[in-house]
Amino acid sequence: MKLRLEKIELREIGLPLKHPFETSFGRTARRRIMIARVFDASGAFGYGECTAAEDPFYNHETIDTAWTIIAGYVGPILAQARVDAASEVDSALHRIRGNRMAKGAVEAATWDLEARLAGKPLWRYLGGTRAEIDSGVSIGLQESRTALLEKVARELESGYQRIKIKIKPGRDIDLVEALRAKYPKVPLMVDANSAYTLAHIDLLAQFDRYNLMMIEQPLTPGDLLDHSKLQSRIATPICLDESILSVADARQAHELGSCGIINLKLGRVGGHHEARLIQQFCLNNRIPVWCGGMLESGIGRAHNIAMSTLEGFSLPGDVSASERYWEEDIIDPPVRVSQRGTIKAPEAPGIGFEVNEQMVESLVVRRQDVSLG
Ligand code: OSB
Ligand code: MG
């Protein structure tokens, strides 16, 4: 079955977070979310979500740069290439350097479209094997240690299988110390979002006392060599997030000994094609992977669920319930997490969740159609 791609519809919606989310690089209270919908000549469509943030602080992309790249390059290049399968979108867009979140929004939408046309749930279409995925939570920096402890208590009561907390210099060891005093056994990890340098090596080595599952992205994204030096000095496994944009990055990180675990994010690597290459590489080399999050709406969340069903996603991801983020999600039903801290992969075709088009339309602040014909 060949696709005849007709257009990309871009829409921006505004969605306030229930609680502001703070990391070492900044604070987000309200998401500006780009939804990319790809249409086939038959009238069928698929949904993708651009995971770029509002500001270029996690990586270089923003929702506005992604919009410019999709309208000015992704659309025209796909139109020229006459791509007729989701698996070819990635290579057709190869000429566009970087900007993977822009490309990934459209690439993922094309997979949803193709899975819907095939009448299969996206997760099965991608080759997923697990009908239920393991869920953890990512907890932002809190006002106080008490607030953090209360938040962790609530998430554990909800059943989440592991706790990740954000750290930054000056708010790190003390938080882990407090959590471990109360919860000696809970699966626990920290995420620094690149806030440290090798000058902090003695401080980072102190984490070894707390039996953490991993420390996520301690150093600057491009510094694979420094991560390797750090990993050789600490026992806690390093997990890379921002550093891994492609399977080539995964290979080099592995060969250098820069990490023991990889956080795989669909948008950061440019879509399902590259994500599967990384997943395969990690599976072949016994590197545990798990699915990261970017404070997605239900569309991005549904794609994350699909990806998480692939073999090798052996650790709980940052894919949690819609209700942790939004008063009302744009998908129906919302993503729910069981008391055992799991999420069921849906059996309906494509992403498997109905998009509440009425709600989306009521939230649209900007739109553009990009022709692929
Ligand atoms: O580093 O994993 C990260 C959110 C925004 C940007 C980067 C990160 C995060 C999270 C939250 O940790 C994950 C989520 O709950 O979606
Ligand atoms: Mg991270």
Question: Is any atom of ligand 1 closer than 6 Å to the C-beta of 59?
Answer: no
Is residue 265 part of the annotated active site? The answer reads: yes
Distance between alpha carbon 91 and the CA centroid of its chain, in Å?
21
pLDDT of residue 302: 98
Q: Model confidence over 179-225: pLDDT tens digits?
A: 999 999 999 999 999 999 999 999 999 999 999 999 999 999 999 99
- Which ligand number lies closest to the CA of residue 138? 1
CA distance 76 to 13: 24
- Which ligand number lies closest to the CA of residue 216? 2
Q: Model confidence over 112-137: pLDDT tens digits?
A: 999 999 999 999 999 999 999 999 99
- Which ligand number lies closest to the CA of residue 294? 1
pLDDT category at 65 given cuts 50, 70, 90 is very high
Q: Model confidence over 326-351: pLDDT tens digits?
A: 999 999 999 999 999 999 999 999 99
Residue 293 Cα to ligand 1 midpoint, Å, equals 5
pLDDT category at 363 given cuts 50, 70, 90 is very high
Residue 295 φ/ψ region, left for φ over 0, alpha for ψ in the -120 to 50 degree band, beta for the rest: left
CA distance 106 to 70: 8
Residue 119 Cα to ligand 1 midpoint, Å, equals 32
Question: Is any atom of ligand 1 closer than 6 Å to the C-beta of 191?
Answer: yes
Residue 1 confidence (pLDDT) above 90: no
Over range 44-53, report the average pLDDT. 98
Is residue 164 part of the annotated active site? The answer reads: no
Closest-CA residue to 243 (of 278, 213, 219): 219
Question: Is any atom of ligand 1 closer than 6 Å to the C-beta of 292?
Answer: yes
Closest-CA residue to 102 (of 57, 71, 56): 71
Residue 373 confidence (pLDDT) above 90: no
Closest-CA residue to 89 (of 10, 12, 5, 1): 5
CA distance 368 to 67: 9
In this structure, are residues 166 and 140 in contact, taking their beta carbons and an 8 Å threshold?
A: yes
Global model pTM greater than 0.85: yes
Atom of ligand 1 nearest to the CA of 293: 16
Closest-CA residue to 113 (of 12, 10, 37): 37
Q: Locate 289 and state its tokens.
A: 């992977």
List residues bridging with 253 in a β-sheet: none
Q: How many alpha carbons fall within 13 Å on the CB side of residue 203?
A: 17
Q: Model confidence over 250-297: pLDDT tens digits?
A: 999 999 999 999 999 999 999 999 999 999 999 999 999 999 999 999
> Which residue CA neighbors atom 12 of ligand 1 most closely?
138
Q: Which of 7, 103, 164, 166 is catalytic?
A: 166
In this structure, are residues 317 and 292 in contact, taking their beta carbons and an 8 Å threshold?
A: yes
What is the DSSP code (8-state) at residue 59?
S
